Amino acid sequence: MFDTTNFQPLLARRYTLEVRQQMAWYWQALVIALALLVGMLISAAILVSAGVPAGELLNEFVILTLFDSQSLRAVLFQAAPLIMVGLAGCLAFRARFWNLGLEGQMIWGAIGATAISLFEIGPPSLRLPLMMVCAMACGLLWALAPVLLKLHLKVNEIISTLMLNYIAINFLLHLVYGSWKDPRDSFPYSPQYKVFERLPELFDGVSLAVVLALVVALFVLWFTGISRAGLYLRFVDSSPGVARAVGVPVKRVILGTVLLSGALAGLAGLMITAGQEGRLTHSFYAGYGFSGILIAFLARNQPIAATVVAVLVATLFVAGRSLQVFYQIPFSMVQLIQAILVICVASSEFFIRHRIRRIQGGQV
Amino acid sequence: MSNPNAIRLDSVSKSFDGFKALSEASFTARWGEVHALLGENGAGKSSLMNIAAGLYAPETGSLFIDDNPVHLKGPLDAAAQGIGMVHQHFKLVKPFTVAENILLGLRHLQAGTYRQRLAQTAEQITAMAASLGFSIEPHARVDQLSVAEQQRVEILKVLLAGARILILDEPTAVLTDAEAENLLTTVQNFAHQEGAAVILVTHKMNDVMRYADQVTVMRTGSTVASLKPQTVSVGELVKLTVGDAPTPPQIPSSRDAGEVRLAVRDLSSSGAAPALRGVNLELRAGEIYGIAGVGGNGQSELAGALMGLPEPVSGEMELVGEGDLNSLSAARRRELGIACIPADRYSSALAAPLSISDNFAMGDVHSGRYGPFWFLRRKRIEADTAAAVAEFDVQGVRSLQQKAALLSGGNAQKLVIAREFARTPQLVIVHSPSRGLDVRATLAVHERLRSARDAGSAVLLISEDLDEVMALADRIGVMSAGRIIGEFAQPADRQAIGQAMVNHV
């Protein structure tokens, strides 16, 4: 006889969710890898429907960008500012401070660097270091108000940092359309930096920006992993209440970490103006703030992982540009793909934290 | 003459993490009576009632409703059997209205659209509230109601869901005297006139004497007596609650108490209903000063203030020779040898997601023992942690990099003590150090406190467990309504302390 007691049609089956205590790291890695794969398949489908031949995708994204030495240099070059904003995101998020103002801090960093260049402050040999210091100071100052407001008046930093971006953006437009506009033509950008004001190529075409980004990554690794501040930061990250009770100077740790995050974002701004564009332009920052958050998120705030993810995002940027040239795909498609990848990885968190189990018999 | 049984629990046992919360507890409530369940904190009252409400499954023992055996699979099952529990901490959705909250708890919905159902529920609420003798606005948002009104919403919620057996867990703890009187009269009417069964979980003698028809007394996980409150005196009830078993004699300090280390003067907290109302005490080197009292009389706030958690306080906490405790930074407190062992380990002592060695390192990192600011000496941290884990017998450590969250309660507590006692402490502030620990771990913790005292530390022990205070303290202060209302020197009379604890409530 056929036993029907244990058989149920698919829709009548019932499932229950259980919270998982822990999942081995290799299973977590597998879940995230699967999520990325799903994200890439969705992205590929969108690109194909937008007119990119399916057969060309692999060619554009992998072969032409990573196996061609000139493209590889372009990827690394592109990766430098992304590594910086990614690290800036990692630091702020570890202090439980949602710094959505990375773009504003980048803009001020770039404005600070450009001011040194425009007003010709310091001798040529010291000009570039001075620009770097000024960029970091300006980024830091732009992060100062939100962090003080949060610590002393509990003002939500998500809103304050985001709103300050608009002030920074409009001030940038005011400069490049106004007093800082290059007098030689009518485009909205500042006069070109001089040769000694630009990040030089060091060896084999690799820019100083790349080396600088790697040095900063090592610095962040030291800060979060080896110094006492790192221990404090781990306590603040895991539980501010416990941190306070066991004697971590919570406010000072948050203040210092967030200011460092702002300084790194400012330096990222300089990397674009002094490394790529050679001048202050009206939209050099576009997309970097979001990318920084995304990189920090995908890297789980780990500096080494952030460096790797930033290189991958840079690949996407470079490939996106060539798609723009050859297939007229708008550059916002790159942001769309980023967003899809983030949503997929964020959703995979659900499977890491929960277990789905079928209920026998369909009863609670 | 007596009514039929409504609910009966027979020889119920339950343990948590090796700790026996209930052992062979039996309980019977009848229809039409207000039945008080009386006992000290941790006597097992809430555990027993959580079993009756289907939240916990008993390990052994059985449950009967109307003398029929019943097996509850969960709270929904209990609701279907007509059992409703109002918890001490309300379970309401704050931004929802009264009617929405109650609709959420209904199992059998009437036909109609959501709006129609909501309107029907609102009518039912008004009618039920009127029959109970109070009024409530069904469309008011819950977060705009007073605590007493929220409690009424909870009661209406379980009654409209069809409860005939109403369990109230410490219902008067959050109410003013007038509100409490009101509530108890209401539930008394509900039992006497509607014939329902009301179970009142409490530790307040007055409520029991005035409103209960029957009282069951619990002590250390067992039910020790069931009687009519009119037939006994308050003194006899106190005796039943705190027990008269001879406690093992406290082991006195091997040396005389020294100079005063900590003087607390007129310590008060602010607010409309301040938890601390002028605490005065002096703590000497080489003694354990125990603070006994029924839970919720300001003990947690006192512990918080002394441990430097942000609490708005007035008054003085003078650390003799160093000034007020509040003015000392965390690093300075460590340097002076002030050790804190809070009651809730994972909200104020250990960072659960961090490793055991990270948690241990926090104890001495400020002093520079683990390297300068720019470098953590991991090897030294690991060596110190390993030594402390061995010395303080922290079990279940597979690796020092393992998360602290994976330790059991007792071992997490041992880790806290290992960290706090790594350097001989001058002043120890402990709050309920054995909460949730098994007997062996409790003994180990007690031994550590005694040896700290014998080494000359001044120990302030705040505990709601009278046995613990009796066993450890050289002097005992009884705390009630935010004050120390009496001090007892050892050997102290347990009955007298028990009496002092409840008389002022």
DSSP state string for A128-191: HHHHHHHHHHHHHHHHHHHHHHHHHH---HHHHHHHHHHHHHHHHHHHHHTTTS-TTSSSSBPP
- pLDDT band, very low/low/confident/very high, at B255 (cuts 50, 70, 90): low
Highest mean pLDDT among A28-37, A167-176, B142-151, B456-465: A167-176
Is residue A362 predicted with pLDDT exceeding 60?
A: no
Lowest-pLDDT choice from A64-73, A243-252, B320-329, B474-483: A64-73
How do B197-202 and B34-38 pair as beta strands? parallel
List the single best residue of B307, B345, B354 to mutate versus A (max A Cβ within 10 A): B354
Q: Tell me the angle at which helices A124-153 and A157-177 cross, rounded to the nearest 10 degrees.
A: 150
User: Closest Cα partner for B484 from B202, B289, B344, B309?
Assistant: B289
- Indicate whether A248 and A217 sit together in one domain: yes
Residue A62 falls within a domain, yes or no?
A: no
For residue B137, give how far its alpha carbon lies from the nearest alpha carbon of chain A (Å): 34
Amino acid residing at B72: L
Closest Cα in chain A, distance from residue B262 (Å): 20
pLDDT band at residue B504 using 50, 70 and 90 as cut-offs: low
pLDDT at B143: 86
With cut-offs at 50, 70 and 90, classify the pLDDT of residue A4.
very low
Q: What is the mean pLDDT of chain A?
A: 87
Q: Above pLDDT 90, what percent of chain B?
A: 27
A340: left (phi over 0), alpha (psi -120 to 50) or beta: alpha
Within this chain, do residues A139 and A36 fall inside the same structural domain, yes or no? no
| Among B residues 76-95, those touching chain A with beta carbons less than 8 Å apart | 76
Do A116 and A34 lie in one domain? The reply is no
What pLDDT digit, counting tens, does each position of A83-106 carry? Answer: 999 999 999 999 999 999 999 999
Q: Which domain holds residue A363?
A: 24-51+331-364
Query: Can you read off the two tokens belonging to residue A107?
Result: 């803009």
Same domain, A226 and A313: yes
φ, ψ of residue B84 in degrees (nearest 5): -130, 135
Instruction: State residue B203's pLDDT score.
Output: 76
Tell me the average pLDDT across B276-283. Answer: 89
Same domain, A313 and A355: no
Report the mean per-residue pLDDT for chain B: 85
Please check the confidence at residue B221 and state whether its pLDDT lies above 70: yes
Question: Both tokens of residue A36?
Answer: 């990325």
Q: Is any Cβ of chain A less than 8 angstroms from the Cβ of B353?
A: yes
Decide: B29 and B214 in contact? Cβ < 8 Å: yes
Does residue A145 contact residue A165 with C-beta atoms inside 8 Å?
A: no
Dihedral, CA of residue B57, residue B59, residue B61 and residue B65, to nearest 10:
0
Per-residue confidence (pLDDT) for residue B401, from 0 to 100: 87
Q: Helix/strand/coil (H, E, C) string of B216-237?
A: EEEECCEEEEEECHHHCCHHHH
Of all residues in chain A, the percent with pLDDT exceeding 90 is 47
Residue A302 lies in a domain: yes
Quick check: A207 and A275 in contact, CB under 8 A? Answer: yes
Task: Report if residue A12 sits inside a domain.
Answer: no
Q: How far apart are CA A55 and CA A33, in angstroms?
A: 23
Helix (H, G, I), strand (E, B) or coil at A325: helix
Q: Are the beta carbons of A246 and B349 separated by less than 8 Å?
A: yes
CB B467 within 8 A of CB B436: no
The pLDDT, as a whole number, for residue A95 is 95
Is the Cβ pair B376, A228 closer than 8 Å? yes
Most confident of A63-77, A177-191, A255-269: A255-269
pLDDT for position B503: 66
Contact B284, B488 (CB under 8 A): no
Residues of A in contact with B350 (CB under 8 A): 242
pLDDT score at A164:
96
**Residue B416 at interface with chain A, using a CB cutoff of 8 Å:** no
- Percent of chain B predicted with pLDDT > 70: 93
B353 contacts A238? CB cut-off 8 A: yes
Please indicate, yes or no, whether residues A130 and A259 belong to a single structural domain of this protein. yes
Q: Would you say B11 and B26 are in contact if contact means Cβ atoms under 8 Å apart?
A: yes
- Whole-number pLDDT of residue A237: 93
Which chain A residue lies closest to B308 (C-alpha atoms)? A245
Is pLDDT larger for residue B82 or for residue A55? B82
Output the pLDDT for position A239.
87
Query: Which residue, among A316, A218, A258, has the nearest Cα to A102 in the 3D structure?
Result: A258
Q: Which of B326-330, B400-404, B437-441 has the highest mean pLDDT?
A: B400-404
What is the pLDDT averaged over residues B245-266?
75
Interface check for B443 against chain A (CB to CB < 8 A): the answer is no
Cβ B347–A234 below 8 Å, yes or no?
no
Give the total residue count for chain B.
505
Contacts of B74 in chain A (CB under 8 A): 364
Which of B74, B366, B371 faces A247 most closely, judged by CB atoms? B366
pLDDT at B289: 93
Does A226 share its domain with A87? yes
Neighbours of B378 (CB within 10 A): 14
Q: What are phi and psi of B489, to 5 degrees?
A: -100, 150
d(CA B300, CA B241): 22
Q: What is the mean pLDDT of residues B243-251?
A: 65
Answer whether A245's CB lies under 8 Å from B340's CB.
yes
> Does one domain contain both A344 and A209?
no
Residues A141 and A222 in one domain: yes
Within this chain, do residues A170 and A189 fall inside the same structural domain, yes or no? yes
User: Total domain count for chain A?
Assistant: 2
Measured between CB atoms, which of A228, A239, A242 is closest to B365? A228
Chain B interface, mutation test: which of A22, A228, A235, most B Cβ atoms within 10 Å?
A: A228
Give the span between the Cα atoms of B185 and B165, in whole angstroms: 17
**Residue B369 contacts A, CB cutoff 8 Å:** no
- Among B308, B353, B375, beta carbon nearest to A226: B375
Contacts of A239 in chain B (CB under 8 A): 347, 351-353
**Would you call B496 an interface residue with chain A, using a CB distance cutoff of 8 Å?**
no
pLDDT one-digit tens code per residue, B83-102: 999 987 788 898 899 999 99
Residue of A nearest to B330 (CA): A247
What percentage of chain A exceeds 70 in pLDDT? 91
> B214 vs chain A: nearest CA distance in angstroms?
36
Pairing of strands B313-319, B197-202: unpaired
Is residue A14 assigned to a domain? no
Whether residues A227 and B76 touch (CB distance < 8 A) is answered with no
Contact A227 B373 (CB under 8 A): yes
Strand partners for B225: B217
Asked if A239 and B361 come within 8 Å (Cβ–Cβ), the reply is: no
Give the residue-averaged pLDDT of A115-131. Answer: 92
Instruction: Classify B129 as helix, strand or coil.
Output: helix
Q: Do A227 and B374 touch (CB under 8 A)?
A: yes
Cβ distance B351 to A239 less than 8 Å, yes or no, reads yes
Residue A194: DSSP 8-state: P
Residue A230: predicted pLDDT? 93
Strands (E), B190-336: 197-202, 214-219, 222-227, 260-269, 277-284, 288-292, 313-319, 323-324
The 3 state secondary structure assigned to B67-86 is CEEECCCCHHHHHHCCEEEE
**In 3D, which of A90, A129, A66, A54 has the Cα closest to residue A299?**
A90
Give yes or no for A223 touching B (CB within 8 A). no
Measured distance between the N- and C-terminal CA atoms of chain A, rounded to whole angstroms: 28
The string of pLDDT tens digits covering residues B309-365 is 766 678 888 888 888 888 887 778 888 888 999 888 888 889 988 999 999 998 888
Same domain, A235 and A306: yes
Characterize the bridge pairing of strands B483-489 and B475-480.
Answer: antiparallel
> Is A245 in the same domain as A311?
yes
Nearest-CB residue to A241 (from B308, B347, B375): B347
Cβ A265 vs Cβ A139: under 8 Å: yes
Residues of chain A neighbouring B361 (CB-CB closer than 8 A): 231
Do residue A247 and residue B371 have CB atoms under 8 angstroms apart? no
Q: Which domains does chain B have, with CATH numbers?
A: 5-242 (3.40.50.300), 247-337+424-505 (3.40.50.300), 349-422 (no CATH)
Q: Using an 8 Å Cβ cutoff, are B51 and B223 in contact?
A: no
CATH number at residue A186: 1.10.3470
Give the per-residue pLDDT at A3.
46
Whole-number pLDDT of residue A361: 46
What confidence score (pLDDT) does residue B272 get? Answer: 62
Q: Does any CB of chain B come closer than 8 Å to the CB of residue A339?
A: no
Average pLDDT on B7-23 reads: 84
